[in-house]
Structure formats: C-alpha cells, structure tokens
A and B are shown apart, each in its own frame.
Chain A
Amino acid sequence: MASTVVNPTRMELTRLKKKLVTATRGHKLLKDKRDELMRQFLDMARENMALREKVEAGIKAANTNFVIAKAGMSEQTLHTALMAPKQEVQLEVSDRNVMSVDIPVFEYKTKSADENDIYSYGFAFTSGDLDDAVKSLSDILPDMLKLAEIEKSCQMLAAEIEKTRRRVNALEHVIIPDTKEGIKYISMKLDENERSTQVRLMKVKDMMLEEAHHYKDKQF
C-alpha cells in the first residue's frame, strides 16, 4: 500500500512515528466526539420530530379556524382587522456549545407583557371565529420558536457529524495504515542496510586475515 515514496532515513522514520502517535490520538478523540455528537443528535432529532408534528397539527387547526373566520365576514373587514398588528415579537439569540458546535438558543420577548394582547381590532365588526383563530395561532407560537431552535440545531449537528465521520474514516482507513506501512518499509530497509554492511565488514575482515596469515596454504 506504500503508494507514496518515502525516504528510508532515520529522520523520516522518527517523523513518521511522531505522525502515527498524533494520528492515533486524533482518531481516538474524533471518534469520541462523533459518538457524543451522535448521542445528542439522536435525542434532538426525536424531539424535533415530535415538535414538528405538534406544530404542523396546530397550524393546520389554526388555518381551518381562519378559513371559518373568513367565511363569516367580508374580506375587507378581515383585512382591516389584521392590518395593524398590536403585538411585536423580538428575539434574543445566544449560543450553546455542544462538542464545539455552536447551536442557537432563542429567547423571545413580546412588546406588551400581556399575552392576550393579540387582538388588533375592535370586536364590533369581526366575528368571534376570528378571535378563536388568532388565539389558536398564538397558542402554538412558543412551540414554533422551540421548533426553530431545535431544527436549526439538528441541521448544524448533522453537518458536524458528517464532517467528523469523514475525518474519523480518513484517519482510520488511510492515514494510519499508510503511516504504519511507511514505518515498516523504512525499518525493513534500514535493517537490510545494516545487515549488508555487517556482511561486507565480515567479508573484508576475512580477506584481510587471509592476506596476513595465509590460512589456506597452511591447511593439511
């Protein structure tokens, strides 16, 4: 697998060994990060789904109420009634750190403290159905904001998990095996060099001894 050409030197060997230690440590850390992210994500995804179903049902009910309200009065009256909203919602955004992912936390404030202050019209010309419709919509607003928070967090966590998973896999299946292969190759090569030097020295020693003592001639 040693697709990359490595220099069989001691310096390179030290470098690769250091790299392997870092990669192994990084791999372990990232794997832990991935597992923890996944745990948090799964909890959040379940909550997200439950909230979404709740909000969608709520909006559907509110829409039905609005249709009924619309049927009971003229379109002009309805438009006039809803033209100038009394209430105003402001959002404070802070963030929460989950395994180095910043996920948003929304806190909302309404302009007037009274949460029933949502009817922007006099009751004389509108039908009671409109009040119900507005109320039903107002009831799901907190859930809608919670949904926004959770759903965004889910999307961000999902993206982070995908990235982390790629990194873990790259380390596990490419970087670490390649480095190990490189270390093996270099140490083999160095050992081989050492052996050949040794053999050469032994041979030279033999030849020198032969030169000095002429063993061959003294043999009987």
Chain B
Amino acid sequence: MYRIAVLGDYDSIYGFATLGLETFPVSDPEYGASQLKRLAESNYAVIYITESLAVELEKEIEKYREIMKPAIILIPGVSGNTGAGISGVKKSVEQAVGSDILFGGN
C-alpha cells in the first residue's frame, strides 16, 4: 500500500489534508530537498509538489523522472500558475520526438 504526499508552502497545500493526502509544509528549498528525498525513499508513490518549490528543486526532481516510483507531479500553488507543469509535458514531447510538434503553437 502506498501513500500520497503533497509538498509545498503551507497556504497552497493545507486543503489537501482534508482529502486524506499527507501534507508536508516546506518553506525553504534546502529543507524541501531533504524532505523530497526522504519521501521518495519511503512509501510514497505520488508526490505532488507546488510549482514554486519545484523550480528550486529541479535537480532533485530530475533524478526521479525516469523511474516508476515516485511520480512527482507539479501543481499550481496559491500564488498562481507559473506554467512549469505545462512546460514539463512539453519537455517530454521534446525528448521523445526531438521537437515539440504537439503543443508548439501555444
């Protein structure tokens, strides 16, 4: 049995606790990195992480990109959508095809 974690600043993630996801409020990126590592190595199959925090932890997230567990998924925080999640999808397309032929126009 696996669990789901949500990582980010407190204001963006506190609502998820009511759904039964486990929230881990993180304010500074360094603590976030160690927290992410700890979560990835334990029993969490999906880790949602706010875009603003993900920008700081790009290197750590990259490590888990091609392995099955955990799936690290970017979600917009309370401060708004930075477009990092969309560009992650575009990056996959670019990696596979060589250039972004699907969503290049927008």
Query: How far apart are the CA atoms of A216 and B89 in the complex, in Å?
Result: 89
Q: Which of A8-16, A22-30, A57-65 lies at the interface?
A: A57-65
> B86 — nearest CB in chain A belongs to which residue?
A52
Indicate if the CB atoms of B68 and A95 lie closer than 8 Å: yes
Q: Are B18 and A82 in contact (CB under 8 A)?
A: yes
Compute how far the CA of A93 lies from the CA of B21 in the bound complex, rounded to whole angstroms.
Answer: 16
**Nearest A residue to B95 by beta-carbon distance?**
A158
Residues on A with C-beta less than 8 A from B103 are 49
A contacts with B: majority SS: helix
Q: Is A147 an interface residue (CB 8 A)?
A: yes
A103 CA to B102 CA, complexed, in Å: 22
**Does the CB pair A144–B48 fall under 8 Å?**
yes
Across-interface contacts of B17 in A (CB, < 8 A): 82, 85
Nearest Cβ on chain B to A119's Cβ, whole angstroms? 7
Q: Is B71 an interface residue (CB 8 A)?
A: yes
Closest Cβ–Cβ distance, residue A118 to chain B (whole Å): 5
Considering the chains assembled together, what is the distance between the CA atoms of A66 and B71 in angstroms?
A: 26
- Chain B residues contacting A56 (CB-CB under 8 Å) are 75-76, 81, 85-86
Docked Cα-Cα span, A147 to B95, in Å, equals 19
- In angstroms, Cα B66 to Cα A162, docked, is 12
Asked whether B15 lies within 8 Å of A133 as measured between CB atoms, the reply is: yes
A207 to B64, CA, bound (A): 79
In angstroms, Cα B89 to Cα A63, docked, is 23
B92:A154 contact, CB within 8 angstroms:
yes
CB interface residues, B 30-80, toward A, < 8 Å = 45-46, 48, 65-66, 68-69, 71, 73, 75-78, 80
The interface residues of chain B lying within 8 Å CB-to-CB of A133 are 15
Contact (Cβ within 8 A) B45 A60 = no
Q: Which of A63, A152, A158 contacts B71 (CB 8 A)?
A: A152
When chains A and B are docked, how far (Å) is the Cα of A152 from the Cα of B47?
A: 11
Contacts of A45 in B (CB 8 A): 89, 92-93, 96, 102
Residues of B within 8 A of A55 (CB): 75
A residues whose Cβ falls under 8 Å from a Cβ of B = 38, 41-42, 45-46, 48-49, 52-53, 55-56, 59-60, 62-63, 66-67, 82, 85-93, 95, 102-104, 106, 108, 110-111, 118-120, 133-134, 137-138, 141, 144-145, 147-149, 151-152, 154-159, 161-162
- A-B contact list, 14 entries, CB within 8 Å: A45-B93, A56-B76, A60-B80, A63-B15, A63-B78, A85-B17, A86-B18, A89-B4, A90-B3, A108-B4, A133-B15, A134-B18, A151-B71, A157-B92
Residues of B bordering A, CB below 8 Å = 1-4, 12, 14-21, 45-46, 48, 65-66, 68-69, 71, 73, 75-78, 80-81, 85-86, 88-89, 92-93, 95-97, 102-103
The 5 closest A-B pairs by CB, nearest first: A87-B20, A152-B71, A158-B96, A89-B20, A161-B96
